């Protein structure tokens, strides 16, 4: 640490907190000239100064580590590997220096590329004569925009999370079982907002419906107590945290009302999970129980997906949980949910890796599958996955089956029960996977479906290897 130069990172932190160099120096008990020298990489960051910064500003020590750049670096690589943007390769070291020394520039480039990709897709659809009939709509991707909204915030909404935790304490959630929690939320809805709640066996596939004009909330009878409590808590968000929702989405460049509405629903779902699984209690129990998802389901009375998703949001300063990536994938490889507080990045240029353990879960639903996986950059990750099914309401209805996965860097794995029996120090035991065939640089993978988009394709008609490309 004695020779760690972090000028750009310290400058970024200071600007985020709207501080002058003099104010930052006074806060840290340093001279203004000393802070200036650190910011200009004349002086390195020392351990005592690092400890002071983490204490005062509540940032993790990894904020000043290059390891913390992994996600942004992967995103920049995705941009550079788009041949329509950059036909010439750029060395990884150059990209790493850009990300570390100029993170705001890197994020701007990623954002520009995302907007370009969206507009390219819209233009392609608009000019496709097969889809240009009257009444057809230009392609919009609200799910992508909302995913990026949460992604940019490391999947943590601080003020909303605190408000949800305060409400949980008011309701007594920490002392209740899920049935009592459901009853407490129902009473609060009625007493504070004059909401009446009814349960119906037939809602034509709708799980809940709230009429704000009449204050009538209908819930499907098929819902479990935890599911009913979740949907009631989500409606509470609109009733009691409306100003927070407005503030969160006010400056977002959403391109459609559908994106705005989906973002509101996503924020309400975040709030509901934070009420049923209050932050401090959830963090404490998760650390105590080794992030045992199934056990936490029993403790809080909610489903596997809800607990797994909540664990990926535990990023409160000074009370951080493991930085997890949460994903929900179907059997066709479609990733319908993706939340990340870590460096794992999934390519936008194709499907996910077939060697990833999530696909094994469909052969044995309800059984947890573990995998120590290595990404092309050499980082090892522990993945925990399980298939979760939702029973159909009627015989003719389509059943729902998804793989739910949580992943973290191997350096955090020993904090979980899932590391038991795994040799996390043996790199050779890790399964080599990638972000997707089109961007994966591995040349000897027998499972490769497509050639890498950033490399010239060379085919010898008289020779073959285990890898098709």
Largest interatomic CA distance in the chain:
78
Task: Please report the pLDDT score of residue 132 as a whole number.
Answer: 43
What local confidence, expressed as pLDDT, does residue 237 receive? 96
Which pLDDT value is given to residue 273?
A: 96
Residue 401 or 116, more confident: 401
In the beta sheet, which residues pair with residue 370?
A: 384
Report d(CA 280, CA 271) in Å as an integer.
15
Q: What is the pLDDT of residue 71?
A: 67
The rounded distance, in Å, linking the Cα atoms of 161 and 167 is 10
pLDDT digits (tens, 9 = 90+) for 66-88: 555 666 777 787 787 776 666 66
Residue 13: which pLDDT band, with cuts at 50, 70 and 90? Answer: confident
Secondary structure (3-state) at 107: helix
- In this prediction, residue 147 has a pLDDT band, given cuts at 50, 70 and 90, of confident
Q: Phi/psi class of residue 400: alpha, beta or left (left: φ > 0; alpha: ψ in -120 to 50)?
A: beta
Angle 47-57/7-16 helices, nearest 10 degrees? Answer: 20
Please tell me the predicted confidence (pLDDT) of residue 2: 42
The per-residue pLDDT for 396 is 66
Share of the chain above pLDDT 70, in %: 85
pLDDT, residue 66, reads 55
Name the band, by pLDDT with cuts 50, 70 and 90, for residue 135. Answer: very low
Read off the pLDDT of residues 335-348 as tens digits, 9 standing for 90 and up.
888 887 665 656 55
**4: which DSSP letter?**
B
Taking residues 153-172, what's their average pLDDT?
92
- Position 61 scores a pLDDT of 62
Residue closest to 317 by CA, chosen among 142, 19, 31, 62: 62
Question: What pLDDT sits at residue 177?
Answer: 83
Segment 188-234, tens digit of pLDDT: 999 999 999 999 877 677 889 999 999 999 999 889 999 999 999 99
* pLDDT the model gives residue 235: 97
Instruction: Write the class of the CATH domain 140-276.
Output: mainly alpha
Residues 6+ apart with CB under 8 A from 112: none
- pLDDT mean across residues, the chain: 83
Q: What digits encode the pLDDT tens for the residues 407-464?
A: 998 888 999 999 999 888 887 889 998 877 777 778 888 888 877 766 677 777 888 8
Q: Is residue 139 scored above 80 in pLDDT? A: no
Please say whether the beta carbons of 171 and 188 come within 8 A: yes
Q: What angle, rounded to 10 degrees, do the helices at 304-311 and 257-276 form?
A: 100
Q: Per-residue pLDDT for 37 more than 90?
A: no
- Contact yes or no for 440/448 (Cβ under 8 A): yes
pLDDT recorded at residue 203 = 65
Contacts of 421 (CB under 8 A, 6+ apart): none
Identify any residues that bridge with 400 across adjacent strands, giving them in sequence order. Answer: 390
What angle, 0 to 180 degrees and rounded to 10, lies between the N-to-C axes of helices 257-276 and 242-249?
Answer: 130
For the residues 288-316, what does the mean pLDDT come to?
Answer: 94
Confidence of residue 133 (pLDDT cuts 50, 70, 90): very low
Which fold would CATH assign to domain 7-64?
434 Repressor (Amino-terminal Domain) (1.10.260)
Give the torsion sign (CA, 185, 222, 273, 244).
negative
Most confident of the following: 61-75, 121-135, 312-326: 312-326
Q: E strand or H helix at 217, and its extent?
A: strand 216-220
Sign of CA dihedral 75, 78, 82, 85: positive
Per mean pLDDT, which of 61-65, 152-156, 258-262, 363-367 is the most reliable? 258-262
Residue spans per domain, the chain: 7-64, 140-276
Cβ–Cβ under 8 Å, residues 383 and 371: yes
Of 59-63, 96-100, 261-265, the poorest mean pLDDT is in: 59-63
Sign of CA dihedral 82, 83, 85, 91: positive
The percentage of residues in the chain with a pLDDT greater than 90, rounded to a whole number, is 38
CB atoms within 10 A of CB 352: 20
């Amino acid at each position: 640490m004695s020779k760690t130069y972090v000028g750009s990172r310290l400058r970024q932190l200071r600007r985020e907190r709207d501080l002058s160099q003099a104010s930052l120096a006074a806060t840290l008990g340093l001279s203004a000239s000393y802070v200036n020298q650190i910011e200009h990489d004349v002086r390195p960051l020392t351990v005592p100064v690092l400890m002071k910064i983490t204490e005062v500003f509540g940032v993790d020590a990894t904020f000043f580590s290059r390891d913390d750049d992994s996600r942004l670096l992967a995103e920049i690589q995705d941009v550079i590997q788009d041949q329509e943007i950059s036909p010439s390769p750029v060395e990884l070291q150059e990209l790493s220096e850009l990300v570390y020394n100029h993170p705001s520039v890197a994020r701007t480039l990623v954002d520009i590329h995302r907007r370009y990709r969206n507009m390219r897709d819209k233009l392609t659809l608009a000019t496709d004569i097969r889809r240009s009939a009257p009444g057809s709509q230009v392609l919009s991707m609200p799910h992508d925009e909302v995913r990026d909204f949460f992604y940019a915030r490391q999947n943590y909404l601080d003020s909303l999370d605190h408000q949800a935790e305060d409400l949980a304490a008011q309701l007594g959630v920490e002392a209740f079982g899920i049935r009592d929690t459901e009853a407490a939320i129902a009473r609060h809805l009625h007493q504070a907002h004059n909401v009446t709640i009814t349960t119906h066996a037939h809602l034509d596939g709708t799980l809940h419906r709230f009429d704000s004009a009449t204050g009538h909330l209908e819930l499907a009878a098929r819902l479990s107590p935890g599911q009913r409590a979740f949907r009631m808590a989500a409606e509470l968000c609109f009733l009691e945290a409306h100003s927070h929702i407005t503030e969160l989405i006010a400056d977002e460049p959403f391109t459609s009302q559908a994106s705005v509405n989906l973002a509101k629903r996503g924020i309400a779902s975040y709030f509901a999970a934070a009420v049923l699984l209050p932050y401090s209690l959830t963090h404490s129990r998760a650390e105590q129980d080794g992030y045992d998802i199934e056990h936490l389901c029993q403790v809080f009375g909610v489903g596997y997906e809800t607990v797994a998703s909540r664990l990926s949001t535990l990023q409160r300063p000074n009370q951080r949980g493991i930085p997890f990536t949460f994903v929900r994938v179907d059997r066709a490889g479609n990733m319908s949910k993706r939340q990340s507080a870590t460096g794992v990045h999934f390519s936008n240029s194709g499907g996910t890796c077939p060697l990833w353990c999530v696909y094994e879960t469909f052969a044995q639903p309800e059984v947890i599958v573990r995998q120590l996986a290595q990404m092309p950059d050499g980082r090892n990750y522990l993945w925990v996955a399980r298939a979760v099914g939702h029973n159909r309401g009627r015989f003719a209805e389509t059943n729902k089956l998804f793989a739910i996965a949580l992943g973290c860097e191997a350096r955090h794995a020993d904090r979980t029960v899932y590391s038991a029996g795994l040799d996390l120090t043996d790199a050779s035991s890790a399964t080599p996977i990638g972000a997707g065939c089109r961007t994966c640089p591995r040349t000897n993978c027998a499972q490769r479906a497509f050639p890498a988009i950033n490399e010239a394709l060379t085919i010898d008609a008289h020779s073959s290897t285990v890898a098709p490309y």
